[in-house]
Amino acid sequence: MFEQIAIGSLMMVASVILSGMTFWLLELAFARSTHWLVKPPHRLKLFVVVIGTALGVMAMVTLSVWLWAVVLYLLGHFAGFELAMYFTLVTFTTLGYGDVLMPAEWRILGGLVAVNGLVVFGLTTAMMVEALRHVRIRQIEFLKG
């Protein structure tokens, strides 16, 4: 049990670090583009912010899922990598079909995959809202002069 908690905790920390790096890179990109983003017209630029943030978020989620799938596969819990990836995707998104399961003695680790998915999806929502809010506030400030 403690081995599962240790592995799961390390994986969640790695996933949160990955999320933090994604936040940082997106913030850096938007900071470098501030001059362009705040000048009118704004609608197309808000669209660019949403698309850019969504692509960053999708990359972050994809990398987190791949990281979990690789670890679960290397631990030998699944016969093939495709099964490890499928289990990770279904569990990470909390879809939970239940057609592919972890071995009973490792089921706590499967629960930690789901917890990590909830955390990552919460962070992605915050990231998308904050990126749009930040740019929109700067645009309004620019218009006020």
Summarize pLDDT for 64-104 with one digit per residue, the tens: 999 999 999 999 999 999 999 999 999 999 888 889 988 88
* Among 112, 96, 141, residue whose Cα is nearest residue 14: 112
Task: Say what the pLDDT of residue 59 is.
Answer: 93
pTM of the complete model = 0.85
pLDDT at position 16 is 92
**Helix boundaries (H) for 75-106:** 81-92
State the DSSP H helix or E strand holding residue 107, giving kind and residue range, or none if neither.
helix 107-144
Q: What's the pLDDT at 97?
A: 87
Burial (CB count <10 Å: 0-12, 13-18, 19+), residue 69: buried
Residue 9 CA to residue 5 CA, distance in Å, equals 6
pLDDT recorded at residue 98: 84
pLDDT at position 61, please? Answer: 93
Angular region, 98: left φ>0, alpha ψ -120 to 50, beta rest? left
Tens digit of pLDDT for each residue in 7-44? 999 999 999 999 999 989 998 998 899 899 999 999 89
pLDDT value of position 33: 92
